[in-house]
Amino acid sequence: MTNAQKWVLLFFALFIVFLVITYMSNKEEETYSKNYNQENATSAQDSETGLSIYKSAGCASCHGEQLAGTDDGPALFKLSEKWSKKELINFLRNPNDFSKDDRIAKYKEKFGNSFMPSFNTIDAKKLGKLAEYLLSK
């Protein structure tokens, strides 16, 4: 091997080492940012509870912070004795479908100035959480 060939070999070896190092540090950054994003995504979803949806959707203004009812809406206690989860979600989406139900018709007399709005713009997953929350009270 001539001297020139040795230099070329050494240079080449250094170049490979350099490539390996950059590759490895990129990888680390990638996994870090992936983990970071995943953590953020799950915490954003989990931070929404049935209670926070109840408050942000404005239910409390008629049904009260503690679900005890107001002059504009009935108390929401023991709903699990009255509704299945599926029915309750349907009711929240479209309360008018239930206006012939005796119990709801009585509410209509009692809360004449107020009515239950339809919440068909809240997505299904949120309505599910909200319904579960209400049925657990």
Q: What is the binding site for ligand HEC (CB under 6 A)?
A: 54, 57-59, 61-63, 72-74, 76, 79, 82, 92, 95, 104, 107-108, 111, 114-117, 119, 130, 134
Residue 88 bridge partners (DSSP): none
Can you read off the two tokens belonging to residue 41?
């995504």
Q: Are 131 and 124 in contact (CB under 8 A)?
A: no
User: Nearest approach, Cβ of 44 to ligand HEC (angstroms)?
Assistant: 21
Query: Can you tell me the distance from the alpha carbon of 48 to that of 121, in angstroms, rounded to the nearest whole number?
Result: 17
Query: Can you tell me the distance from the alpha carbon of 118 to that of 74, in angstroms, rounded to the nearest whole number?
Result: 16
3-state secondary structure of 32: helix
77-100 per-residue burial string, b: 16 or more CB within 10 A, e: under 16: eebeeebeeeebbbbbeebeebee
User: Nearest approach, Cβ of 124 to ligand HEC (angstroms)?
Assistant: 14
User: Nearest approach, Cβ of 117 to ligand HEC (angstroms)?
Assistant: 6
Smaller CB distance to ligand HEC: residue 46 or 71? Answer: 71
Smaller CB distance to ligand HEC: residue 44 or 116? Answer: 116
Smaller CB distance to ligand HEC: residue 27 or 110? Answer: 110
User: Nearest approach, Cβ of 101 to ligand HEC (angstroms)?
Assistant: 9
Smaller CB distance to ligand HEC: residue 72 or 132? Answer: 72
